[in-house]
Amino acid sequence: MKVGIVGAGITGLALTHYLAEQGIESVTFEADDEAGGVITSRTVDGHVTEPGPQRMRKTPGVVELAEKAGVGDDIIEASEGKLYVYANGELGEAPITKRQFFTTDLLSVRGKARMLAEPLTRPGTPQETIEEVFVRKFGREAYEHFIGPLYGGIYGSDPAEMPAAFALESLLEREKETKSLLRAFLQRVNQGHSAAPMSFTEGNQQLPNALAETYADRVELSTPVEKIRSEESYVIETADGSEAFDRIVITSDAKSTAEMLSPLESDGLVSGLDGLRNLRYNPLAQVFLHADHDYPGKGYQVGYNEELHTLGSSWNANMFDREGAQTVFLGGMHEPEIVDESDETLAEIAREEFEEVVGCEATVIDVARLKPGFPAWDTSWWALEDLELPEGITMATNYTARMGVPSRVREARELAKEFAKQADVDGSQQETKVAAPS
């Protein structure tokens, strides 16, 4: 078996690693001149900045990849830390634990009582939006001051535009087991906290860079895939030529994927590509600041009733001892047009609002924009139900399965196991044919 992988982000590189361990031949094609995909790290004026994800979780799968790539000793582990929400003009501690729930001033006594009544409400349904589920289950105050900003912040999205059928699917399943969405939510949070936040001394991109170097004989950078077509097997075409594969795994963004699969659509082997073409990504801008403040923890989200442009901030100085480094986010579904403003405008807005929220002076380090942005997981995801791919082509992406580095690594590992089993079956069948009498 020979596997072609499109994209050298963390999914594609993890799959490259696991296939190599299984002894399966593979080639990974990456359009950019560096590995990582959305995981991007830069050093600006001595500060490590993260234009992509700010951190990952220290799960066994992620640690194993780091060790195999030779960067296990460069892992920086952070304590979990507090998370805040800026509401009513003040930073309040997000009530993730029981102690925080009873001590936080984000919720009034009435708001806390309403939230505790959640087990008495009927279960959430996939037909509702996430906002409808959260407001009905927890109350309007808890939604606007706490749950909405935290959950929507994961995607840079508006929960009012997000069907529960997609971004809330696993929590709704867990609610059936626990008889409480609040209990299911807290269980997920606590399970996530069992794996500490982590990064690397040179930033998150140090991991994909090391994997690409480790498997340099399997990874082709600066080699965008132009199209995928079908002959006796599948053929990947690039500017450098074409190569045949038994299996293809696509990890690229939705529009790029639709473009490269269009020849198979013309041949009637793929249908529903318009759903991919029209998937919504939320544009996101990041302003990196230098500031020293006294708050412990990992950052804040902005509540829904605040008249701010910024969405929140990640305190990487606290998390990873990065000498005053703070990341401020703008855009998302909240205000997508602001991402088109100049760097100078974005920098000034972020600096002023950070100083207002945190109460200390800040200076600007750099400005970046995440391309193509964060998958919105909004109503455009309904169109993916019409997507049909032929056997032998698999999509392993952050818009068809769970986001987050550990989830991407886990999916890659499971795919490699599946391919290894199929290779064993194919090998056995071939041996049987060879041994059969003529």
Residue-wise DSSP of 76-143: EE-----EEEEETTEEEE---SHHHHHH-SSS-HHHHHHHHTGGGSPPP-TTSBHHHHHHHHH-HHHI
pLDDT of residue 305: 87
- Verify that 346 and 209 share a domain, yes or no: no
Domain boundary among 145, 165, 193: 193
Structure tokens at 406: 């550990």
pLDDT of residue 434: 47
- Verify that 189 and 87 share a domain, yes or no: yes
In a domain, 437, yes or no: no
- Verify that 96 and 189 share a domain, yes or no: yes
In a domain, 261, yes or no: yes
Q: Render each residue's pLDDT in the chain as its tens digit; 438 residues.
A: 999 999 999 999 999 999 999 999 999 999 999 999 999 999 999 999 999 999 999 999 999 999 999 999 999 999 778 899 999 899 999 887 778 888 888 999 999 999 999 999 999 999 999 999 999 999 999 999 988 998 888 888 999 999 999 888 888 999 998 899 988 877 776 655 578 999 999 999 999 999 999 999 999 999 999 999 998 899 999 999 999 999 999 999 999 999 999 999 999 999 999 999 999 999 999 999 999 999 999 999 999 989 999 999 999 999 999 999 999 999 999 999 999 999 999 999 999 999 999 999 999 999 999 988 899 999 999 999 999 999 999 999 999 998 899 999 999 999 999 999 998 877 655 555 545 444
In a domain, 345, yes or no: yes
Domain boundary among 360, 375, 390: 375
Structure tokens at 248: 């293809």
Q: Look up tokens 């399970």; give the residue.
A: 191
Reply yes or no: is the peptide bond before residue 372 cis, omega within 30 of 0.
yes
- Verify that 7 and 139 share a domain, yes or no: no
- Verify that 273 and 384 share a domain, yes or no: yes
- Verify that 226 and 92 share a domain, yes or no: no
- Verify that 167 and 310 share a domain, yes or no: no
pTM assigned to the model: 0.93
- Verify that 341 and 371 share a domain, yes or no: yes
In a domain, 73, yes or no: yes
In a domain, 103, yes or no: yes
CATH number at residue 354: 3.90.660.20
Task: Give the residue among 135, 203, 206, 128 at the shortest CA–CA distance from 172.
Answer: 128
- Verify that 404 and 261 share a domain, yes or no: yes
Residue 23 sits in which domain range?
2-79+199-279+379-432
What b/e string do you get for 51-71 counting C-beta neighbours within 10 Å, with b at 16 or more?
A: bbbbbbbbbebbebbbebbeb
In a domain, 285, yes or no: yes
- Verify that 371 and 291 share a domain, yes or no: yes
Sequence letter at residue 413: R
CATH number at residue 156: 1.10.3110.10
Instruction: Please give the tally of structural domains in the chain.
Output: 3
- Verify that 275 and 392 share a domain, yes or no: yes
In a domain, 100, yes or no: yes
User: What does the alpha-carbon distance between residue 375 and residue 275 come to, in Å, rounded to a whole number?
Assistant: 13
Domain boundary among 375, 407, 424: 375
- Verify that 407 and 419 share a domain, yes or no: yes
CATH number at residue 75: 3.50.50.60
